A = this chain, B = another copy of it.
Amino acid sequence: MFRVTREIDFCYGHRLLNYEGKCRFLHGHNGKAVIAIEAEKLDERGMVLDFSDIKRVVSNWIDENLDHRMILHREDPARATLEKLGEPLYLLDENPTAENIAREIFNYAHAQGFPIVECRLWETPHCFATYYR
């Protein structure tokens, strides 16, 4: 079995609702998304999928949707204010935890027909969340 994995760096802001700790305040992270694809056989080039195709599909979407913006719960009280300020938010139906951002990236790639088997999101240099089906 073959698996190829590519890491994609971006940065984002967020905060958590219904949370007691420091993460309830607006702040941000250098996220590192780690995308894994699997195949039983390689194509005629000897690849599961070209690393640059992972980049083209997933990295471009991250650049345009998550990178350098706030990722917020759709019901975050700060939402309306930040939108008035012209901020390009990315909204989730749930808290923008590492778990939910990992799933969001997984789901986008999967919906594009991309054979993703796992998505990790490093939120800090020592913590990451993984989503897989």
Contacts and interface: CB of A to CB of B under 8 A. Distances in A.
Contacts of A11: 27-29, 124
Contacts of A12: 27-28
Q: What's the number of copies of this chain in the assembled complex?
A: 6
B81 A26 contact: no
Interface residues of A, number: 67
Interface in A15-50: 16, 18-19, 21-23, 25-30, 32, 42, 44-48, 50
B21 A52 contact: yes
Contact of A28 (B6, B16, B27, B131): B27
Interface in A39-89: 42, 44-48, 50-52, 67-70, 77-78, 81-82, 84-85, 87-88
A14 B68 CA distance: 10
Contact of A45 (B19, B30, B88): B19
A48 B9 CA distance: 23
A133 B1 contact: yes
Contacts of A22: 67-68
Give the 5 A-B residue pairs with the shortest CB-CB distance, closest first: A28-B28, A46-B95, A22-B68, A46-B97, A13-B28
